[in-house]
Each structure stands twice: as structure tokens, then as C-alpha cells.
Amino acid sequence: MQLKPINQQVVAVVGASSGIGRKTALEFAKRGASLVVSARSQPGLESLVDEISQIGGKAVAVTADVSEFEQVKAIADRAIQIYGRLDTWVHCAAVNLYATFEQTTPEEFKRIIDVNLIGQVHGAMAALPHLKREGRGSLIHVSSVEAKRSLPFHSAYAASKHGIDGFLEALRIELIHEKLPINVTNVMPASINTPLFNKSRTKLGVKPQGLPPIYEPQAVADTIVYVAEHPTRDIIVGDAGQVMNFIQRLSPRLMDTLLLQAGFKLQKTTEPKPEDAPDNLFEPISNFDHVEGDFSKKTQPSISTWLETHPRIKWGIVFTLGVAVLASYAGNT
């Protein structure tokens, strides 16, 4: 499957007002892509388009709630109207709730499914006809490592992320069956330092945080830009996410034990946050339209992600280590 160079692509980034989506849009713009950016926050989109313009990029904004299909369709339609085509659809929009299952109301659970899962479905439905007409392209869906392993306090969130993984598996094989050169990628970040934790609804009594270690949005944005040129099935961003997925596949009960020991307390900060604090579950909130969250001092680089997006170096290291092992074995025989 041959995808266009980034500087020849028209890219839609959904969930672009803050966090991963915002950083991703900026990275595509730096590399010369033409952009349509979307989110619920109009001020966030306006500031993003202005920032992209300042670095010499091209972007138009469409305000949309991804739970409404017609609003999502308008994003793809705008790309066709302005640029004449669509090459890559990047879907990042998500909301979250920190609460036990028993604390979660039916309305809250449904809202998370509507945004995080049905919103992603709407994105694929809106983009796919245009990608098929173009003859190639990418559907890049940002889910979470929780597409593979759920965490406590995240029954709704993890259910939505598992659902993304399931629907992408079906869609991918259907496109392969039709012999359509359309890449379908599931990008699964571990804990990322974004404003998500500020904007999430919480019933923990304190401000939540991602399960450490935490990584910067740059790692996810770099990964998304990479897979937009290099067809990739699934990719986990963050060494901890790789380890978590490995342990889950090896022994789910072992993963249960680890989460019982650390999964509850490590998702809590010591900063009080009442249950009625402003959140973006049903409506956007202001003052969080930026890339990074509050945990920059706790972040670390992801070596595994860097190697995944630099395969020549990765396989060079593997080859060198293999030669060294064989030489050592030969020397001892």
C-alpha cells in the first residue's frame, strides 16, 4: 500500500482543540499538509488555525460534536469543498469519567459511548466514501491502551476503547477483501500528558491523573504522522503500554494483581476536586485549549515508540545484537 507524502495530503483532524489532536494538527501543518480541524470548542479551533497560519500552514475549522453524524459529515464535506479531496482522517475526540461502575449513571455511560465509540464510527463513515473515490488513504483512529486492557474507574471509557478495536478489525478485513488500498490504524496511547485529566468528570474526590509513567503528546503526534505515510495495523504509544499489553496477553490474572496493587491509588492526585467541578462530558469548557496538561514534570520519553517509528534503526539494532549473540556463541563452542 503506497500512501502520499505528508506534504501532498489533505488531512482531517477531529478532536483538534487540545491535547493529542492539537499537537497532531500542528505536526501535519509543519510538514506541509492541508488541514481541516474540528472539535466542539470554537475558541480552541480559532486559536489553532491562527497558530497553524503563523507557521505557514493551511487549515480551516469546523465546529462539531462527533456524537452527531451530520456534524461529522460536514467535516469531510468541508475538506472536499476547500481542497477537492480527502487523504487522511485522524480521529482523536474523546471524553472521560473517573468513577466506579456503581457511581456511573446510565446517562454518563451512554455519553462516553456516544462520543468515544459512535463518534469514531461516524468519522469512518464520513471519510470512507471520499477515500474510496480518491483510490487510497488512511483512517487513523486514536483509541487507548485500554482497547486491550481496562483500568479501574474506567468501565465506560474502556468499553468505548474496546469497541473501537472491534469495529476497526471488522472494517479493516472488509477493505482488504474489497482490495481497497485504504490503511486502517488503531493508535493506542498509554497515559499522555494532556488536558484530558483537567476536563474529565471525576467522582474520586480528587483530580485524576494517568496511570504512570506518563508520556508527552509529541510521542503520539509523531506516531500518527508516521503511520499516515507508512501503513500500520496497530501501534501502542508508550513503553508502559507495551508492557501492559504483553502482561495482559501472557496472564490477565497477573495484570489484575498488578492493578489491584497500584491501579487505584496511582490514578489519584492529592489535589481536591469536587464532583460538581466543571467538565466537558456534555459541553465543552474553556481555558484548556492547549497541548500539554499539568504533568510535564512527570513525563518520560518512550523508547519503544521511537524505535517503532524508526524501523531501520530498530532492525539495525536487532541485527547487531543478533550478530553479537552468534559471535559469542561461536566463541564458546
Residues marked as catalytic? 157
- 186 by Cβ neighbours in 10 Å (0-12 / 13-18 / 19+) ranks as buried
Distances in Å between the Cα of 126 and the Cα atoms of 62, 178, 224 are 14, 19, 20
Cβ pair 229, 6 in contact under 8 A: yes
Sorted by sequence, the CB contacts under 8 Å of residue 171 that are 6+ apart come out as 124, 139, 184
What angle do the packed helices 217-229 and 19-30 form, to 10 degrees?
A: 50
Query: For the stretch 153-170, what's the b/e string if a residue is b when 16 or more beta carbons lie within 10 angstroms of its beta carbon?
Result: bbbbbbbbbbbbbebbee
Cβ pair 61, 45 in contact under 8 A: yes
